């Protein structure tokens, strides 16, 4: 039996609190991955580094290593820096199968985790304000990759419409426009009774604290508006579930892609189904047939509609795949 290992790859700042949260998340993952040898390492800034973790897994007899990016979206750190580290190790150790799981990206589980954080902020608030009178401010990390930035906009739109807020704004803490402070200044002028600030981050750190500090300053300057801070995701159960899914995908070669927001697969925030429509979707996919991708299905996928996007590529990276 192949000895499997997982290395959870983080990219954390110099902040001790962020590092502690990442290590705590890795501890939760170890409890879920009892059949795997698990390491948690960092791409930069903080030790131990990823290459050292790969070497330790090798020393402990790993025959297959799944590299799990513990970062948001496929920005430069995931596309370039992480793959450079992994592919260098794989080239030097051809006897070990090295797989790279795909990034967290946009996922129904992450959407549920985000909505839970926002709902908890509402419960903790002192007043009662209808969502129709509430502005949702989703704050992303911000990168120089427009595709990664656009994912934050999609998440915000799903939360806005799915949860029934009066409006939503998207801003970024760094490297992308609009920055949070400028967007908050605009949001205050829109006339909503409440603004919920939701940092779409995995862990705390300088940027998250900067967001909360600015929100608190806005609250002090505008007491007529209730401004509340929602939590970032940290070790939410749905986030852990998503990490486990990424490992399974790497091992099984699943290519779910945009089907992850398929309403016939599972209930999605913003696309809730009534029982009749849900049953119709299940009935449509109950027998053996050909789905919209031109592939056989047996009801496991749980849908029977057509997609126009191709699935002819793979997220499973072997030793020879350098891209």
- The CA distances from residue 273 to 113, 268, 269, 276, 287, in Å, are 19, 9, 10, 8, 21
Mean pLDDT in runs of 10 for the chain (323 residues)?
A: 90 72 93 95 67 94 94 59 84 95 89 97 94 97 86 95 97 92 96 97 90 96 97 95 95 63 57 53 41 36 39 39 34
Strand pairing report for 296-297 and 289-290 = antiparallel
Strand pairing report for 194-199 and 226-229 = parallel
CATH level 3 topology of 4-100: Rossmann fold (3.40.50)
Q: Do domains 4-100 and 108-229 have the same CATH topology?
A: yes
Global pTM value: 0.76
pLDDT value at residue 269: 66
Q: Under a CB-based contact definition with an 8 Å cutoff, are residues 269 and 158 in contact?
A: yes
Question: Around 19, how many Cα atoms within 13 Å sit in the side-chain half-sphere?
Answer: 13
pLDDT value at residue 188: 96
CATH level 3 topology of 108-229: Rossmann fold (3.40.50)
- Name the phi and psi angles at 4, rounded to 5: -90, 145
pLDDT value at residue 44: 59
Domain ranges of the chain: 4-100, 108-229, 237-297
pLDDT value at residue 79: 57
pLDDT value at residue 245: 96
């Amino acid at each position: 039996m192949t000895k499997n290992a997982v290395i959870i790859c983080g990219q954390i700042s110099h902040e001790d609190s962020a590092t502690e949260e990442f290590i705590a998340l890795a501890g939760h993952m170890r409890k879920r991955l009892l059949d795997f040898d698990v390491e948690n390492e960092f791409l930069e800034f903080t030790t131990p580094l990823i290459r050292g973790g790969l070497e330790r897994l090798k020393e402990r007899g790993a025959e297959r290593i799944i590299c799990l990016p513990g970062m948001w979206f496929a920005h430069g750190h995931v596309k370039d820096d992480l793959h450079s580290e992994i592919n260098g190790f794989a080239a030097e150790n051809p006897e070990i199968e090295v797989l790279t799981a795909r990034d967290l990206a946009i996922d129904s589980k992450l959407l549920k985790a985000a909505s839970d954080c926002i709902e908890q902020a509402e419960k903790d608030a002192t007043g009662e304000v209808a969502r129709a009178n509430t502005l949702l401010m989703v704050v992303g990390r911000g990168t120089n990759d427009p595709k990664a930035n656009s994912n934050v906009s999609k998440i915000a739109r799903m939360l806005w419409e799915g949860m029934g807020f009066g409006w939503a704004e998207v801003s970024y803490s760094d490297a992308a426009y609009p920055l949070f402070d400028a967007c908050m200044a605009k949001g205050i002028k829109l006339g909503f009774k409440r603004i919920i600030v939701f940092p779409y981050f995995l862990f705390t750190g300088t940027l998250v604290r900067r967001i909360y500090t600015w929100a608190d300053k806005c609250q002090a300057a505008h007491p007529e508006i209730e401004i509340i801070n929602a939590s970032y995701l940290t070790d939410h159960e749905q986030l852990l579930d998503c990490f486990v899914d990424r490992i399974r995908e790497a091992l099984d070669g699943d290519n779910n892609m945009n089907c992850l927001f398929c309403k016939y697969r599972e209930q999605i925030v913003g696309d809730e189904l009534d029982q009749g429509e849900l049953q119709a979707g299940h009935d449509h996919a109950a027998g053996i047939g050909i789905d919209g991708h031109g592939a056989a299905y047996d009801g496991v996928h749980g849908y029977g509609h057509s997609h126009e996007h191709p699935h002819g590529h793979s997220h499973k990276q072997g030793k020879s795949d350098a891209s």
